[in-house]
Structure 1
Amino acid sequence: MRRRLRTLGALVTLSASLLACGTTTATAATPTSPTSAATWVVSNPRIVARFDVNTGQSPEGIALEPTGSALISLANASAVVRVRRDGRVEPVGQLPRSGACPILGGSYSSGIARGPDGTVYVLNCTGNADSGVWRIRRGGAPEQIARLPVQAFPNGLALDERTGDLYAADSALGVVWKVPTTGGTPRVWASGPELTRDALFGANGITVHRGQVWVSNTDRGTIMRIPIGAGGAAGPIRTMVSGLTGGVDNFTVFGPDDTILAPLIATNEIVLIRPGQQPRVVLTAADGLSNPTHVQLRGDTVYVSNSAFFTRVDPNLLVAHLDRRAPATRTAA
């Protein structure tokens, strides 16, 4: 635990030095006209469930259910729970806590995804044979369906429902793994310098949107887009956002214009990034953030997991309202 906190604390120090250098301005790759763009407003934040950081209950990943419940991976407890809309917390599965995850030390469960049939997929990092992708069927016990190298740090996880493929971002080896939901041997789907780590965490957050895999690199403060090409092969990696120096973690991409909501774990912020516009902070610590690690969206409800890795205060699941407002009418001078 002490090693993990020292490592994570180093991210705060790294981010602080970058902030001091004035490199906090992120850039989006695709230009649009700000004068005609609608404004996205995030409001009414509220905490629906609280956890105990002293027992390893650090909320990390989120997978949403049709009912509005949220499946949460509790990183240091290596467990999965369900948070009902009324805030009730129910156990879903316990993963092995059998080793030491590279970079962090100790067992660590992070990325989580849910299949259309209700099956839960979750990553477990232990630095031994228990590292890899685990599956939890309804009412069943967790079972490992894919083993990853002991040197890997499987962090973010995303499911492509069209193909039944899982994509896992590896923060240590700097690659994206591909695993079928039926299980089997993982293969490196995407690799390149854009995914590698400089100091702590390389490829981290991951999501699938509009036939493309999006990946964040925490060390480099970037979000990239990788097309899923013919036969499922990875296309060229393209950096879409750069300069996110607050420790970008697991984000969501939505809408036909690829709008992004991203957590900055070290600075306790959620930023909204419209194509061609500067990132805008929409939630802060004053709203209940405590080292946010994942943002998810269902309809107009924003879900944020708050790990409290650094603050050690108030790990929670927070929800807020997303409202798209029409662009203001320009008045004559």
Structure 2
Amino acid sequence: MPRFLRRAVVAPAAFAIGLIAAAPAASSGPDVSNPHVIAHFDLAAGQTPENMVAERNGSVVVTFSAARQIAKVTRERRIRVLATLPAESRPRTPLVHDAVALGLARAEDGTLYVNYATGTAKTGIWRIPASGGAPEQIAALPPDGVPNGLALDERRGVLYAADSVLGTVWRVPLAGGTPTAWAAGGALDGLPQTADGVGANGIKVHKDAVWVTNSDRGTLLRIPVAEDGSAGAAEERASGLPGVDDFVFPGHSDIVLAALITSNEVALVRPDGTHGTVLGVQDGLSNPTSLAVSGQDLFVASDAYFTQRDPNLLKARLRAHFARP
């Protein structure tokens, strides 16, 4: 499972989520092919990519957790900082003990939303306008938690933040305001016997449900969204995924690709809960934390939290049946 490091430049464990539903159409060739690293980041500068979203033009936007930055990696492999979250002079973030930028979500109009954990009143969800400008806090979350993964449901006009310490999924209006503890406890909690206790981590909205990973338990969960917006009972859809972090649905089915940070792997999780490795350290992974998909392109960010070597961005090709606009 992910472990939070104590070092000069401290970064948090990452988050993953994913799941399952329909089997892919039969076709030949590997599910993921032609992996290659397209960008190398500066570990000493805090460029540890925690989460990301893909844009239609082939660029990706990432959070550099330790640097508190949101940055764009262009198709030409240039890195441009879009925003830096405000410094916290006395951070008290649980587990991390530093101010860190975590989960990231992007609206259709280009507005970015990011989780920021500081252990102070700055902990919460921040908004960055599509046209640029200073980050603005739109919701405060408990300073004794670590809001990790972030997911956006524009149809319902809400954001969901997975808290790895408090074992809670927070629901926040897209316009900002008071958060609601939408789902909590049980399968979302970390394991009390572990040194760090990293529970709910990655999160996605998919087919009228919120999917969440639990890093300590190595599980992928599906939480149905009721007609009134409330949370149904959490269903375990896959297990045996130690250190599972962020994830992505590569197509319209329930098949998931998930980052396993400690084993340096990306796993493909099938609708029946079985899973296998599709990328590994031999492909350039160095503690993968998050994934994003654009068409048939798969992007994987590695933060090098444990290896302390070569945080990077990898690009690979998905088999055609996964492709989506």
Q: Structures share a fold, TM > 0.5? A: yes
The answer to whether the 8 Å contact 2:298/2:317 transfers is: yes
TM-score after normalising by structure 1: 0.86
- Higher RCO, Cα 8 Å, sep 6+: 2
Instruction: Tell me the residue number matched to 1:163.
Output: 156
Q: Separation in 2 of the partners of 1:251 and 1:101?
A: 24
Higher helix share: 1
Gap regions ≥5 residues in structure 1: 12-27, 327-333
The answer to whether the 8 Å contact 1:48/1:85 transfers is: no
When residues 255 and 66 of structure 1 are mapped into structure 2, their CA distance, relative to the original with a 3 A threshold, is closer
Deviates more, 1:148-157 or 1:65-74: 65-74
Larger radius of gyration: 1
Query: What aligned pairs does 1:1-333 form with structure 2 within 5 A after superposition?
Result: 4-6=4-6, 41-98=31-88, 99-137=91-129, 138-198=131-191, 199=194, 200-245=197-242, 247-276=243-272, 278-324=274-320
Residue 5 of structure 1 aligns to a residue in which SS? coil
Alpha-carbon offset, residue 78 of structure 1: 0.9
Structure 1 stretches of 4+ moved >3 Å: 6-9, 28-32, 36-40, 254-257
Instruction: Tell me the residue number matched to 2:16.
Output: none
Alpha-carbon offset, residue 201 of structure 1: 0.5
Cα offsets for 1:163-214 (capped at 9, x unmatched): 2211000000001001112010111111131000113210000011112110
Gap regions ≥5 residues in structure 2: 14-18
Alpha-carbon offset, residue 131 of structure 1: 0.4
Q: Separation in 2 of the partners of 1:65 and 1:30?
A: 25
Q: Separation in 2 of the partners of 1:29 and 1:68?
A: 26
RMSD over equivalenced CA pairs, Å: 2.3
Cα offsets for 1:51-75 (capped at 9, x unmatched): 1111211001011222221110001
Residue 5 of structure 2 aligns to a residue in which SS? helix
Equivalent AA in structure 1 for residue 157 of structure 2:
G
Residue 304 of structure 1 aligns to a residue in which SS? strand
When residues 91 and 6 of structure 1 are mapped into structure 2, their CA distance, relative to the original with a 3 A threshold, is closer
Alpha-carbon offset, residue 268 of structure 1: 0.2
